[in-house]
Amino acid sequence: MDQIRSNLCVLLFFFLLFSSARTEDVGVIQALVTFMNNLKPTQTTPNWGWNISSDPCTSKWVGVTCDKSNVTVKKIVLEIVNLSGTLDFTSLCKASNLLVLSLNFNNLTGTLSPEISNCNRLTHFYLTGNRFSGAIPGSLADLPNVKRIVISNNDFSGELPDFSRTTSLLTFFAQNNRFTGQLPVFNYNQLQEFNVANNNLTGPVPDDTGRFDGNSFTGNPGLCGKVLPQSCPVKKKGKKSKLRDFLIYSGYVVLGFLIVVLLAVVLVKKRKRGRDDEKTDLSPKNSSRSGRSSDSRNSRTRSEFSLTSVENGGVSTSMVVLSSPVGKGLRFEDLLRAPAELISRGNNGSLYKVKPEGGVSLVVKRIKNWKISKDVFRKRMQKIDEIKHANVLPVVAYYSSKQEKLIVYEYQQNGSLFRLLHGSQNGQVFEWGNRLNIASSVATALAFMHRELETDSIPHGNVKSSNILLNDNMDPCVSEYGLMPKDYQDQDPDPGQSQDSTTTGNFKVDVYGFGVVLLELLTGKPVQDNGLGLVKWVRAVVQEEWTGEVFDKALIVEGANEERMIRLLQVALNCINGSREARPVMGEVATMILSLKEEEERDIRFYITGIAIGKFSEVRTVID
């Protein structure tokens, strides 16, 4: 009996020891072994692994990468290892956390089964340089997280599935196969890389963005389109189509005629009213009516801003012009009379462009129903005017009433950082060095303002790329400093934070906003909803250890220093920390970015010096 108990204890010990050595579930390990057996490896290394008696993470199977905790399989990369079998997705997808599968340059055959959709976390799928055949299953396009699909240099045939609903796809390479049928619709605006050359595709190229040239579609004799030598034939219209077009165009003609008649009637009435007004103005007995007419016309002129709020029983028309030389000679009436163009409308106010007669173009920020007293508002504007920095746009003038506040700036014709990043750049490249310079200048400006205005508790309150303008020298200028209502300043963009009315809390909200600006500079992606979507995406990518996917492709192509980009990304992540207390102050942020900028400039100087020395050596050689 004692012997039996002793044997049971030993067996239990070994069972626990064996179990503790495993990280993945036994069922997953068995499935992965089956997956490998179907691949039929013809040569294996001594430490190959891939057997039921070991663990893929702790035993370090060849080609397998696990997460940081060595708990679950994340990547399987088996390239150029002479695999000659078939691909078993039923077994493979039991590894539910698999992100990357790369089997490039083997001798794999067979077809792709629809079960690939079970690998629903898969982001990268590489099969180039094998001998796969048959059609691509439509379930490949249903993968919700797939970013890269590379199935080139195989023997695939049939029609490509519809990828129009695949919103995450960035790369699609399917060149050098035997695909037939029409090219389906892709999200070409989102794609970064695309190639279907050398197949048997037919019909028009559906890419109307012009992002991909003819090299992405060449070698398909049946394809036609703008980027290919063969243009698409114009379809002849049948009788029904011609009749329909005739009726449509006839309708347009009739509608246009009615609009012209209506405009003519309006113009006639307007001219008649103008003559009546002139007669009234010239008549002495109608002077009182003329005064009312004048008021009416003035009210129409003023209606762009509604600058007629009543205070203390009368109409206030006081505008304070500050020390900026742009405001010299500017009068309140000049703003009222100047035509106003609405630039934007936001939650905390509207922005107008005006150009007073004989003056420079100005921007008027209008804030309605800001619950701040006239005296407090005046002190705030005067304090901000005293604290000047080269990278902070100065206030030209301001107006204050109970109903609204107006702040006047000089118009910056080069637009905002947001437009530079995400708008049309007319072929210009927004290089890494320029992005780093802008980040350093803005950080330094905010750090200066925070330091000088700390005792007055005046943060910016709304740091974002659209509030960073570019002057004539393309230097950044932080605009709209201190123009957010206090209750808005107190709200942290991160939903995990509660409201904090302390001075430090307000300034830390600025740090968060600047962190989002850094993410825009690094990723090239626009922001929405205070940048929460971009923040979540970056955090997820970094957590999955795919940091390289974060950076703007233009920076990668340029050859920007990856180490410094990663360090700047770390600064951004510190700024957007979910805990306010854990975020650095702007002075620390400015110092870290300045260090990166100086390193970048030092490398450039060394590079230029090296070229100069090389040229000098060439000249000396010629002379000698």
- Which residue is associated with the tokens 């055949």? 133
Please give the structure tokens belonging to residue 442. Answer: 């803005």
Instruction: Please check whether residues 157 and 210 belong to one and the same domain.
Output: yes
- Cα distances from 487 to residues 347, 461, 500, 516, in angstroms, run 13, 10, 10, 21
Instruction: Please check whether residues 472 and 499 belong to one and the same domain.
Output: yes
DSSP 515-533: HHHHHHHHH-----GGGHH
Instruction: Please report whether residue 3 resides in a domain.
Output: no
Instruction: Please check whether residues 158 and 239 belong to one and the same domain.
Output: no
Instruction: Please report whether residue 288 resides in a domain.
Output: no
User: What is residue 264's predicted lDDT score, i.e. its pLDDT?
Assistant: 79
3-class DSSP state of 367: strand
Which domain-ending residue is among 389, 411, 433?
Answer: 411
Instruction: Please check whether residues 188 and 250 belong to one and the same domain.
Output: no
User: What is residue 20's predicted lDDT score, i.e. its pLDDT?
Assistant: 40
Instruction: Please report whether residue 284 resides in a domain.
Output: no
Which domain-ending residue is among 411, 426, 444?
Answer: 411
Please give the structure tokens belonging to residue 482. Answer: 């201190």
Contact between 573 and 542 (Cβ < 8 Å): yes
The per-residue pLDDT for range 586-609, each reduced to its tens digit, is 999 999 999 999 988 888 776 666
Instruction: Please check whether residues 369 and 470 belong to one and the same domain.
Output: no
User: What is residue 257's predicted lDDT score, i.e. its pLDDT?
Assistant: 76
How far is CA 423 from its chain centroid?
11
- Cα distances from 215 to residues 196, 201, 221, in angstroms, run 9, 14, 13
Contact between 94 and 28 (Cβ < 8 Å): yes
Contact between 197 and 220 (Cβ < 8 Å): yes
User: What is residue 9's predicted lDDT score, i.e. its pLDDT?
Assistant: 47
Instruction: Please check whether residues 390 and 519 belong to one and the same domain.
Output: no
Contact between 205 and 217 (Cβ < 8 Å): yes
The per-residue pLDDT for range 148-194, each reduced to its tens digit, is 999 999 999 999 999 888 878 989 999 999 999 999 888 887 888 89
Cα–Cα dist 177/435, whole Å: 41
Residue range of the domain that includes 268: 235-277
- Cα distances from 362 to residues 254, 304, 356, 408, in angstroms, run 43, 15, 8, 7
Q: 581-613 b/e with 16+ CB inside 10 Å = b? A: eebbbbebbbebbbebbeebeeeeeeeeeeeee
Instruction: Please check whether residues 82 and 200 belong to one and the same domain.
Output: yes
Please give the structure tokens belonging to residue 46. Answer: 């001594």
Q: Which CATH number does the domain housing residue 485 bear?
A: 1.10.510.10
Straight-line distance from the first to the last Cα atom of the chain, in angstroms, rounded to the nearest whole number? 100
Residues 6+ apart with CB under 8 A from 533: 527
Q: Which CATH number does the domain housing residue 64 bear?
A: 3.80.10.10
Cα–Cα dist 64/530, whole Å: 39
3-class DSSP state of 476: strand
User: What is residue 494's predicted lDDT score, i.e. its pLDDT?
Assistant: 61
Instruction: Please check whether residues 340 and 443 belong to one and the same domain.
Output: no
Instruction: Please check whether residues 472 and 589 belong to one and the same domain.
Output: yes
Residues forming beta bridges with residue 64, ordered by sequence position:
76
Which domain-ending residue is among 191, 224, 257?
Answer: 224
The number of domains in the chain is 4
Task: Indicate the pTM of the whole model.
Answer: 0.53
Instruction: Please report whether residue 229 resides in a domain.
Output: no
Contact between 396 and 328 (Cβ < 8 Å): no
Instruction: Please report whether residue 68 resides in a domain.
Output: yes
Instruction: Please report whether residue 324 resides in a domain.
Output: yes
Cα–Cα dist 522/356, whole Å: 39
Instruction: Please report whether residue 75 resides in a domain.
Output: yes
Q: Which CATH number does the domain housing residue 354 bear?
A: 3.30.200.20
Q: Any idea how long the chain is?
A: 624
Instruction: Please report whether residue 55 resides in a domain.
Output: yes
Amino acid at 143: L
Residues in the chain with pLDDT < 70?
Answer: 1-23, 43, 208, 235-246, 270, 272-318, 424-429, 485-505, 529, 606-624
Cα–Cα dist 206/410, whole Å: 45
Instruction: Please check whether residues 252 and 347 belong to one and the same domain.
Output: no
Instruction: Please check whether residues 499 and 561 belong to one and the same domain.
Output: yes
Instruction: Please check whether residues 263 and 163 belong to one and the same domain.
Output: no
DSSP 560-576: --HHHHHHHHHHHHHHT
Amino acid at 517: V
